[in-house]
Amino acid sequence: MRILLVEDEPMLAKSLKFQLEKEGFAVDLCNNGDDGLHYALEAVYDVVLLDRMLPGIDGVTLLKELRTRGKNVPIILLTALGSLGDKIQGLDAGADDYVVKPFAFEEILARIRCVNRRPRTWEESLTFSFGDLQMEPNGKLLKGPGGSCELSKREAELMEAFLRNPGQTLPRETLIVRVWGPDADVEAGNLDNYIHFLRRRIRFVKSTLKVTTQRGVGYRLERG
Ligand code: CA
């Protein structure tokens, strides 16, 4: 899962990034609102952790800007202001959740899990693509130069993870959490089976892309 962290307090930013990465998240860190807006608009994230008081554009303005431009990524506001009015203002601006500083890391983790469990209506119109492959998450249809085929739910989730992170090695744990959820009891061979199914689908639509095994780490979708 990819997280954008927009936080200007160096100690807090560093420690949050470190702890999130330890949990297996990929984290991009911005220390001001302008960079935060740029990153949030350019890349695809699963969650944005957004400080409210920032140099440059402040958190609430950034949030409104993203929503105005149709970015529906889940956003959790981090803030030192804890009054009811501020919470309402943040939620009205389009935040999915709100955490008051100081917070325990476990609380942030719980909130991230929670916003990710909500139905992902914002993704329904999104098409993921890389090279000669295309996938519509809604119809779970995988398209390549030689035709198309329908994916099962788990195959589609796996494919989505690869298409969101093309050319990047995705650790086995990340893929398992992505497809089966954080609390699932999954045997290691299950993931390998699904990778095998996915490779067959990719060959079936005559794509030149390949899912390669990164020994001891995970898998990567790359150009053949
Ligand atoms: Ca701040």
Ligand 1 centre from 104 Cα, in Å?
A: 17
Q: How far apart are CA 205 and CA 200, in angstroms?
A: 9
Query: Pairing state of beta strands 97-100 and 128-130?
Result: unpaired
Ligand 1 centre from 59 Cα, in Å?
A: 9
Ligand 1 centre from 82 Cα, in Å?
A: 14
Ligand 1 centre from 8 Cα, in Å?
A: 5
Q: Which two tokens stand for residue 20?
A: 């999130």
Question: What's the whole-model pTM score?
Answer: 0.55
* Average pLDDT, 10 consecutive residues per value, the chain (224 residues): 95 95 92 95 90 94 90 88 73 85 89 76 64 80 93 87 86 83 77 95 96 94 91
How much is the pLDDT for 115?
Answer: 84
Short-list 124, 118, 119, 79, CA closest to 102: 79
188-204 and 153-164 helices, crossing angle to 10°: 80
Cβ-based burial of 58 (10 A; exposed 0-12, middle 13-18, buried ≥19): middle
Do the beta carbons of residue 165 and residue 220 sit within 8 Å?
no
Q: Is 128 helix (H, G, I), strand (E, B) or coil?
A: strand
β-sheet bridge partners, residue 100: 79
Ligand 1 centre from 107 Cα, in Å?
A: 19
Ligand 1 centre from 55 Cα, in Å?
A: 8
